[in-house]
Structure 1
Amino acid sequence: MADIISNTDLRVGTCIDVDGTLYVVTAFQPAKFGKWSWVTKTKLRDINTGFIVEKVFKPGDKIVRAILEGRQAQYMYKDDGGFHFLDQETFEDVLLSSDLVGEASDFLIENMMVEILMYGDKYVSINLPSYVELKVVDAPPGIKGDTASGGSKPATLETGIVVQVPLFVNIGEIIRVDTRTREYLERA
């Protein structure tokens, strides 16, 4: 369920247990402290409340990394209660809150497969595929002479997210978007 790591092992996305509360590292910054030691300044998001706290870890600190179990799930739909997924193991409806899904909601389309992360029997977060294919629903028109090496323009995708795309991309096209950087990759 958990193992001990040092302050230098902390990375964005690492889930840790601090005094019985689960946090996800959202930012970290190594900083020199004194003559020889390095501390790690972190921003942690409380899994339960969503609040962000700042904490500094010293070299001697024993940090408990929470081992998360991943389960495959299919995104079904969103309603007032949250986001509904179908667990591919148990075929049960899994309801996740908007706070838990977070910015991943910008990429969710019906029937998409995701990984739901759990700590014990508690849902913690979701992992998206590295890229998704989304349809362009609004973009300024391309102008004759636009090239692949030219500039970029904003395009609204079917989920409502706006990304910068090359000038040659038009309404109705399917494009690939990196879910980590939120950037255009290529036409699908």
Structure 2
Amino acid sequence: MISTSDFRTGITIEIDGNVWQVVDFQHVKPGKGAAFVRTKMKNVRSGAVVERTFNPGEKLARAHIERREMQFLYESDGEFNFMDNENFEQIAVAADQLGDAPKYLKENMDIGIMFFQGTIIGVDLPFAVELAVVETDPGIRGDTATGGTKPAKMETGCVVRVPLFINVGDVLRIDTRSGDYLERA
């Protein structure tokens, strides 16, 4: 059990059978009335973000999430196969359990997989991945007075807006949190 007075960013708690991660919290002591703890929490399974208030000192069940480093092997029939880096055990994960992660997964890539009570609840991707451009329109000099962008299809199938000077075959760093182009690799 954890008290709401001990909330910190990143702590995971269990409420009504769902696992929530504290994104933001604030201890509020208004001039009139009782103090309270205002939190912003993210559902680890669905990604939904909610705001909720608690009484100070209220006890909640702490959710112990296990993170294991695994290597992505291959995708087959909508299932993504991973191998545990410690015991070499292989598991298959359905695409709907991975959220947006399949857009950035390359073979032999190491990622963190989160488990709660033995079931997979999500993945921890690195903040940026390096992907090669497989399809994009050629940039024409003088196309725009200010910096313009064009769509580029990456080797994993995701489409990213990139500057006009990017060509087919270029390797780019892509932010996995927002899906934005960062830089050439």
Q: Structure 1's 51 and 151: CA in aligned 2 closer, same or farther, altered over 3 A? A: closer
TM value normalised by structure 1: 0.77
Tell me whether 1:109 sits opposite 2:106 in the alignment.
yes
Tell me whether 1:86 sits opposite 2:83 in the alignment.
yes
C-alpha distance after superposition, 1:63-110 (max 9, x if no partner): 333232221111011223521101111111111122221111110111
The 8 Å contact of residues 75 and 112 in structure 1, kept in 2 or not, is answered as yes
2:59 aligns with one of 41, 58, 62: 62
Q: Structure 1 unaligned runs (5+)? A: none
- Aligned counterpart, 1:16: 13
Tell me whether 1:153 sits opposite 2:143 in the alignment.
no
1:118 aligns with one of 115, 119, 124: 115
CA distance in structure 1 between the partners assigned to 2:162 and 2:62 by the alignment: 38
Counterpart residue identity of residue 58, structure 1? F
Tell me whether 1:178 sits opposite 2:164 in the alignment.
no
- Aligned counterpart, 2:43: 44
Structure 1 vs Structure 2: percent identity of aligned residues?
39
State the SS of the aligned residue for 1:116: strand
The 8 Å contact of residues 23 and 39 in structure 2, kept in 1 or not, is answered as no
- Aligned counterpart, 1:99: 96
Count of aligned residue pairs for this structure pair: 180
C-alpha distance after superposition, 1:93-128 (max 9, x if no partner): 111122221111110111111111223433221111
Q: Structure 1's 130 and 71: CA in aligned 2 closer, same or farther, altered over 3 A? A: same
Counterpart residue identity of residue 118, structure 1? F
Q: Structure 1's 55 and 37: CA in aligned 2 closer, same or farther, altered over 3 A? A: closer
State the SS of the aligned residue for 1:138: strand
1:23 Cα deviation from its structure 2 partner: 2.0
Q: How do 1:132-171 and structure 2 match up within 5 A?
A: 132-145=129-142, 150-171=147-168
Q: Structure 1's 176 and 5: CA in aligned 2 closer, same or farther, altered over 3 A? A: farther
C-alpha distance after superposition, 1:24-45 (max 9, x if no partner): 4497787979755453354535
Runs of 4+ in structure 1 off by over 6 angstroms are 26-34
1:14 Cα deviation from its structure 2 partner: 5.2
CA distance in structure 1 between the partners assigned to 2:125 and 2:176 by the alignment: 7
TM value normalised by structure 2: 0.78
